[in-house]
Structure formats: structure tokens, C-alpha cells
Amino acid sequence: MKKIIFFLLLLSNQIYSQELYKEKYRPQFHFSPAKNWMNDPNGLVYFNGEYHLFYQSNPFGNQWGHMSWSHSISKDLLHWQQLPVALKEENGIMMFSGSAVMDEKNTSGFGKNAMVAIYTGHTDTLQTQNIAYSNDAGRTFTKFNNNPVLNLRQKDFRDPNVFWYEKNNDWIMCVSHPNEHQIEFYQSKELKDWKSLSVFGPVGDTSGVWECPDLMQVSIEGTKEKKWVLFTSQNSTMQYFVGEFDGTRFINENPTNKIFKQDYGTDYYAAVAYHNTPYKNPISIGWLNNWNYANDIPTTPWKSVMSLPRELSLKKINGEWILIQTVLQNIKTLRSSAKSFSNKIVSKQSPVNFKGNVFEAEILFQPSAKGESGIKLAVGNNHYLKISYDALNQRMIVDRSQTNSSFNKTFASINKAISKIQLPDGKLKWHIYFDKSIVEIFVNDGEAVFTTQVFAEENENSVQLFSTKGKSKFEYVNIWNIKSIW
Ligand code: FRU
């Protein structure tokens, strides 16, 4: 009897897990929670071969609320295992965004190799910075009994991001004053007592409240040198500043009359990075949604997806520091069957002999100088997502106005992402990751990225090349089906 019950349990478990991650719109190679609401990535930290991904979640439903830190781990940043909720809302105090560090030197006295989470405690009238520690590699946490560790008695003061500053042997926290468009830097020897160092901003994009700062060292391609990069999130997009951090203040070296965006798409926000991994550079993960409609996207029983992890580096282009983002190479292990062709001249429309909504595509082409050219994905039922180069205006456009947007008016109105892109040698390279309801497009080896959500029916899965005026030459098009990680 026991055996039969065990077998039935196993079977029902399997059926359950088979249904999960097979739902309509469910990405197959991006992280999304099995169920319930998710927003910002929190506490990205690497320890003992495990990448920890904590994230803002509502353990009780599929809408924002009861903010807690849920927890997943990965050994390769590709396959994820979900663990129980790590830090819960308690006594009416929500767990807002923050970071986590490994306290290798036991500066805090919480124990050698304690994992310390630094988060914002949120109520309707007050936001403070708090800490919690784990002595079992993030499986269980204890909230510090002398919380908060930083309290300015302000309603908006949030998203602490902490790292170890080797030169001065101390911890640095960057934390946001959202309404002032400022990031304040603090210093501590033991993660408990924090002293203000300096304030950065307002500068750059101040069109929305500043949230989720992250400061890190990033290497300059082709050299042994590094620069400091400061990220902020505002108005449903992200910006970065590049310069120096001297232990006290951050000095921006990029022009201040220009906004440098980490992603030009409609759905990329609150990204933070792993600072201490075996990789040479920080690895960044962003939340692929947009506060203007995040609660209304038509997915169930979960909401929101994380970006593919992106390795960051820097390049100087025309006197400006440009962030380069590349997807980790191990994603190639998920490639299955391929479709390739080369040197194809396209005028008007040209169907591609491939159907799918979970794939990776690499394209190098010479856009016609006379009009708009590119690729349409998720084609069917008079719907499509259009990725194009508008040569007359030297800009790239990701246009989802012809996709299903019936579920939300704001989603329908925020339907294009546009950015200037120069083509030094007349060619454009796209690396496209299409994953059911997520499209990430890396331009010219990661010099720009566009990320967008799209909610297409299963049979809207054709692909077309096009060139509205004149001929465009597609030097190569390589498409791979991608295996599911679930
Ligand atoms: C950013 C944000 C953070 C805040 C969290 C709350 O998306 O608004 O500033 O800590 O989400 O869930």
C-alpha cells in the first residue's frame, strides 16, 4: 500500500511539474517563478558554486503585494532551482529591494562566511535600511535584532546595494533618494553602523524616481584596466554612468547632456549584478516588465520573467564609455536543430522557412539605405513583432503595435522602442533571443540591447525578412531551436 501511495504521489508530482512551465506565454530558457508575482532581482551573490537569485515576490498571489524575498539558486546561471521564501514580510513591514554579501572576514560578528542581506524595510510612512544574516548559505535568515541599521525617518529612501571596497577595508552602500534623483554612498566597517560619504545626482535621466542603484568595477575591453559603473532605474528604463570611485565619491566621466541606457526596450528594469563570481566581469540580471502595466500582463499562475544573465564590459566609442553586454556562452548548450542561410537579397517580403517561438537567431545584414528593413517574428493572424533599421533616420525600432495588446491599454500605447544606432561599416548585427513572451535583442555584439514582451498566440510563429524600399543584403541568418531548461 505504502508503495502504491508513494508511486501515486510521485506521479501526481510529475504531472504537476509537467504542467508548470508549459503554460501559454511561459518562457522556456529564462527564469520565471513557478507561481505568483515577481519583480526586482535582489541579493545577487555567489557562494560555494551557487548563484543565489533572491527576488521581490508576493508569496500569496499574482499581483504586487506582501513584498518578500523569494529565493532560487543555480550552479550555471542557466538552470534554476526554487527554494522556500527566504525573507518574509513581518509585523506590517514589507521586504523591499536590496543586496546580499558574503562576510568572509566576519566583520559583522554573524559568523565566518555569513551571508548578509541588506534590504529596505517598507511601511506606508517610512523606509529604512535593515540587515539579516544566514549561516547556512542562504537557506534560512535571521533578521538582526537591532534593525534598522540606517534610518533617516524618510518615506522614500530605498534599495541598498552593498559591496566590499578592498582598498579601504570597508563596506560601501549605495542607496537611493528616489524623489531627489540622488544616490547616497555610505561606509561601514561591520555592516551595522553606517556613515554618509557623499551624494551623486541629480543628473542624466530625472524623468522618474530613482530606484535600485548598483555600483561596480567593469573591465575595459582589450585592456587590463577597469572603470566604475553606476546604474540607476527610473521611469521604466535604466541608465548608467561611467567613471571613477575613490572610496568616497563617484565621478562620472561620460557627457552629462546625454542619457546612456542599459536597455532601449520597453521591458527592462531594476537590474543589479553579481559582483564576485568566477567570471571576469559583473553579471547583470534585470526584471523584464514595466510598472505601467506589470500587474496586467496575461500570464498565470506567475507574473514576470528575469533577463538572461549578461556579462558586462566597457568600450570607448567616439569618446564615450559604452556598456557592452553579452549573454553567457553556456546558453549555446541549449541549442538544438538549426536553420542557416547566407547572402540573401531581400526586397519587400521574404518568408523564412522556419516556425517557432522559442529560438535564438544571429543575423548580419546590410540594410537598404532607402527605407526600413529587418525581421518580423511571431507572424500570424495579421499579427507580428517588427524589428527594423530605419536607415533614413539611422535608428533601430522594435515595434509591437501589431501584436496582441487587448489585455491592457497602456501596454497597447507603449508599443515602440527606438534608438539611434550608427552603422560604421554599413552593416548591422543582431543576436535575438525569442522565448515565448520575451524578446531580447543584442545589437552589434552587445553595444545596445532592446528587450520587449510580446504575447502572441501559439500559431503566430512564422518569421519574415523585409525591406520596404530598395534591397537589403542578409549576409547570414542562423536560427537555432532552444531546449527548455525546465
Ligand atoms: C523597483 C521598486 C523598488 C522597491 C521595489 C518594491 O521596481 O519600486 O524601488 O524596493 O520595487 O517592490
pLDDT tens sequence across 144-196: 999 999 999 999 999 999 999 999 999 999 999 999 999 999 999 999 999 99
Residue 205 Cβ inside 6 Å of ligand 1? The answer reads no
Answer whether 155's CB lies under 8 Å from 170's CB: no
Query: Model confidence over 203-217: pLDDT tens digits?
Result: 999 999 999 999 999
> Does the beta carbon of 120 lie inside 6 Å of ligand 1?
yes
Q: Flag whether pLDDT at 18 surpasses 70.
A: no
Q: Which residues contact 151 (CB under 8 A, 6 or more apart)?
A: 126, 128, 129
For the CA of 120, the closest atom of ligand 1 is 10
Would the CB of 237 count as within 6 Å of ligand 1?
no
Domains of the chain as residue ranges with CATH: 35-327 (2.115.10.20), 331-482 (2.60.120.560)
Q: How confident is the model at residue 3 (pLDDT cuts 50, 70, 90)?
A: low
The amino acid present at 339, given as its one-letter code, is: K
**CA atoms in the 13 A half-sphere facing the CB of 4:** 1
pLDDT of residue 424: 82
pLDDT at residue 91 tops 90: yes
CB of 375 within 6 A of ligand 1: the answer is: no
39 lines ligand 1 (CB under 6 A): yes
Is the Cβ atom of 270 under 6 angstroms away from ligand 1? Answer: yes
Angle at alpha carbon of residue 229, lines to 203 and 208, rounded to 5°? 35
Question: With contact defined as beta carbons under 8 Å apart, do 301 and 57 qualify?
Answer: no
Q: Residue 75: how many CB atoms within 10 A of its CB? A: 11
Is 158 a pocket residue for ligand 1 (Cβ < 6 Å)?
A: yes
Q: Which cell numbers in the block locate residue 79? A: 538552470
Between the CA of 8 and the centroid of ligand 1 the distance, in Å, is 42
Ligand 1 atom, smallest distance to 269 CA: 7
**Paired residues of 448 in beta bridges:** 443
Give residue 109 CA to ligand 1 midpoint distance, Å. Answer: 29
* 40 catalytic residue (yes or no): yes
**Which residue is it, cell 525600432?**
397
Regarding the beta carbon of 56 and ligand 1, being less than 6 Å apart is answered yes
Average pLDDT, the chain: 96
* Contact predicate 250/244, CB 8 Å: yes
pLDDT tens track for 271-312: 999 999 999 999 999 999 999 999 999 999 999 999 999 999
**Of all residues in the chain, what percent carry a pLDDT higher than 90?**
95
Look at ligand 1, atom 9, and give the residue with the nearest C-alpha.
211
**For ligand 1, mutation pick of 129, 159, 179, 181 (most atoms within 8 Å of CB):** 159
Other CB atoms within 10 Å distance of the CB of residue 326: 16
Tell me, what amino acid is at 206? T
Residue 16 pLDDT grade (very low, low, confident, very high; cuts 50, 70, 90):
very low
Cβ(211) – ligand 1 distance below 6 Å: yes
The span from the CA of 165 to the CA of 481, in Å, is 43
pLDDT tens readout for residues 420-475: 999 989 999 999 999 999 999 999 999 999 999 999 999 999 999 999 999 999 99
Tell me the pLDDT tens digit for each residue of 327-352: 999 999 999 999 999 999 999 999 99
Q: Is 67 in the pocket of ligand 1 (CB under 6 A)?
A: yes
pLDDT at position 9 over 60: no
CA-CA distance, 407 to 312, in Å (whole number)? 35
Please calculate the CA angle 164-166-170 and round it to the nearest 5 degrees. 55
Residue in 22, 26, 29, 17 with CA at minimum distance from that of residue 484: 29
**Phi–psi pair at 180, nearest 5 degrees:** -85, -5
Predicted confidence (pLDDT) per residue in 59-82, tens digit: 999 999 999 999 999 999 999 999
CA of 176, closest atom in ligand 1: 9
The residue whose CA has the least distance to atom 8 of ligand 1 is 211
Q: How far apart are CA 7 and CA 86, in angstroms?
A: 31
3-state DSSP of the chain:
CHHHHHHHHHHHHHHHHHHCCCCCCCCCCCCCCCCEEEEEEEEEEEECCEEEEEEEEECCCCCCCCCEEEEEEECCCCCCEEEEEEECCECCEEEEEEEEEEECCCCCCCCCCEEEEEEEEECCCCEEEEEEEECCCCCCCEECCCCCCEEEEECCCEEEEEEEEHHHCEEEEEEEEHHHCEEEEEEECCCCCCEEEEEECCCCCCCCCCEEEEEEEEEECCCCCEEEEEEEEECCEEEEEEEEECCCCEEECCCCCCCCECCCCCCCEEEEEECCCCCCCCEEEEECCCCCCHHHCCCCCEECCECCCEEEEEEEECCEEEEEEEECHHHHHHEEEEEEEEEEEEEEEEEEEEECCEEEEEEEEECCCCCEEEEEEEEECCEEEEEEEEHHHCEEEEECCCCCCCCCHHHHHCCEEEEECCCCCCCEEEEEEEECCEEEEEECCCCEEEEEECCCCCCCCEEEEEEEEEEEEEEEEEEEEECCCC
pLDDT of residue 14: 47
Whether 108 contacts 162, CB under 8 Å = no
For residue 40, give the ligand 1 atom closest to its CA.
7
Probe target for ligand 1 pocket from 119, 157, 158, with the most ligand atoms within 8 Å of CB: 158
Predicted confidence (pLDDT) per residue in 227-279, tens digit: 999 999 999 999 999 999 999 999 999 999 999 999 999 999 999 999 999 99
Catalytic annotation, pick one of 40, 103, 159, 267: 40
CA of 426 to the centre of ligand 1 (A): 41
- What is the Å distance from ligand 1's center to 218 Cα? 25
